[in-house]
Amino acid sequence: MVPPLFLEPEPGDYILDLCAAPGSKTTQIAQLMKNEGAIIANDVSIKRISSLGFNLQLCGVVNTAITMFDGRKLPLVLKDQFDKVLVDAPCSSSGHLLSKSPPSFTERRIKSLHFLQRDLLLAGFKMLKPKGILVYSTCSIHPLENEAVIDHLLSKENKACIEDFEIKGLRTHLGLTEFEKKTFHSNLRRSVRIYPHDNCTDSFFIARIRKEG
Ligand SMILES: C[S@@+](CC[C@H](N)C(=O)[O-])C[C@H]1O[C@@H](n2cnc3c(N)ncnc32)[C@H](O)[C@@H]1O
């Protein structure tokens, strides 16, 4: 998966995976960390957390603890703690264009997700150490779930800075700086869109954000 590669996990890191279940990215992060350091894998859904526990066990992950909290409330107890944070946000999956069952969503659902995504991203950012890296990702192509969410963080947190990041061989597009008469921060160009025809995958949006020291 691409989002964990943008996070560049290293052995010894202390990492928060805020919306982790069922753990496809947590297990990949653990592998990249060589099962060293520590991951907190959090999710709000008890049903999905059972799959997360199963998958961690299946893959032999030993550096991860599971927590079950509403991610929006975690900064009340965990502030400025993590070297790296992944916010793989709940989304409409509007980018799942190649899947067998195409996504269905309404404008209303997208708007309600937008507010949840904004809050989860702000919470994730608060839990990041100074100079730490946060990766925000969705499998949606809707700007309201992507660029508009990052734009909101940039307007609230002056220490948030989007970083350029390239993966050799991966074809990507620049993030949008305007959509339906809304203009986003010009640094949104540094975020990344991946479309099905680029690499024969579903679509993704990814932004890598640094907390300035
Ligand atoms: C896109 S899925 C995560 C997929 C996972 N990262 C993986 O790679 O397997 C989004 C997750 O966010 C969780 N979620 C939704 N609202 C949340 C909240 N308020 N706090 C924490 N997790 C939440 C959902 O239960 C869901 O498991």
**What is the distance in A from the centroid of ligand 1 to the CA of 152?**
20
The beta-carbon contacts of 197-201 under 8 Å, at least 24 apart in sequence, are: 198/170, 198/171, 198/172, 198/173, 199/170, 199/171, 201/98
Domains and CATH numbers, the chain: 2-211 (3.40.50.150)
Q: What is the pTM of this model?
A: 0.97
Query: pLDDT at position 79, please?
Result: 94
Ligand 1 binding pocket mutation candidate from 25, 40, 44, 120 (most atoms within 8 A of CB): 44
Query: pLDDT at position 94, please?
Result: 87
Using the atom order of ligand 1, give the atom closest to the CA of residue 25.
8
pLDDT digits (tens, 9 = 90+) for 87-98: 999 999 888 876
Task: State mean pLDDT over 16-39.
Answer: 98
Ligand 1, CB cutoff 6 Å, lining residues: 19-25, 42-45, 48, 70-72, 88, 90
Phi, psi (rounded to 5 degrees) for 101: -110, 100
**What is the distance in A from the centroid of ligand 1 to the CA of 144?**
18
Query: pLDDT at position 100, please?
Result: 65
Residue with token string 């890296």: 133
pLDDT digits (tens, 9 = 90+) for 97-147: 766 666 777 889 999 999 999 999 999 999 999 999 999 999 999 999 999
Query: To the nearest whole number, what is the mean pLDDT of the chain?
Result: 95
Beta bridge partners of 65: 40
CA distances from 28 to 72, 78, 179, 211 (A): 24, 24, 33, 24
pLDDT digits (tens, 9 = 90+) for 35-91: 999 999 999 999 999 999 999 999 999 999 999 999 999 999 999 999 999 999 999
**What is the distance in A from the centroid of ligand 1 to the CA of 97?**
20
pLDDT digits (tens, 9 = 90+) for 149-158: 999 999 999 9
Query: pLDDT at position 96, please?
Result: 81
Active site residues: 139
pLDDT for residue 11 is more than 80: yes
* Cα 111 to Cα 114: distance, rounded to the nearest angstrom: 5
Using the atom order of ligand 1, give the atom closest to the CA of residue 1.
8
CA distances from 66 to 61, 69, 79, 136 (A): 12, 10, 18, 20
